[in-house]
Amino acid sequence: MLTDSCSSNEFSSREEEQQGCPAAGSPLPAITWNKDGRPLESAGGGGVTVLDRGRRLEIQRAHLSDAGVYRCVAANLAGAAELTHSLQVYAPPVVSSPGGAVTVVVNEAARLRCEASGVPPPGLTWLKDGSPVASESHGLQVFIRTDSPHVA
């Protein structure tokens, strides 16, 4: 018997993740794991290890590529059952724009850039002298470009 339910797990790319497959039956079922419809190798590799006769799948250091739908299938002569885990991997924000001093002539435009990526994409807030800058206030304009690259 295998509890037929679905769970969703979210965690940072720095954490360790374990997925469970609580299978029982008579005769004892064989357990296999799939990720996004493809079989996972029980020998491990790529940081994914199958433990406890298939009952646990462990990802030591998650990467964005580890995100997906994991399915364990328990099968014996009496039939088969499966359990699905949806794994989301988050990556902390990274600012890729260089900072520094900007000098402009009075009444000329000054342009400052802040490019950041992460999963999910981070929100950006501009501050001037410690206070948030509205999208248009006191001659300042904030432009947001949404086609910036994400962390890979």
Read off the pLDDT band of 110 (50, 70, 90): confident
pLDDT value at residue 5: 37
**pLDDT of the residue at 3:** 35
**Over the chain, what is the mean pLDDT?**
78
pLDDT of residue 102: 87
Q: Which domains does the chain have, with CATH numbers?
A: 6-91 (2.60.40.10), 96-152 (no CATH)
* CA 89 from centre of chain: 2
Predicted confidence (pLDDT) per residue in 52-98, tens digit: 888 888 888 889 999 999 999 999 999 999 999 999 999 999 998 88
CB atoms under 10 Å from CB of 119, counted, come to 18
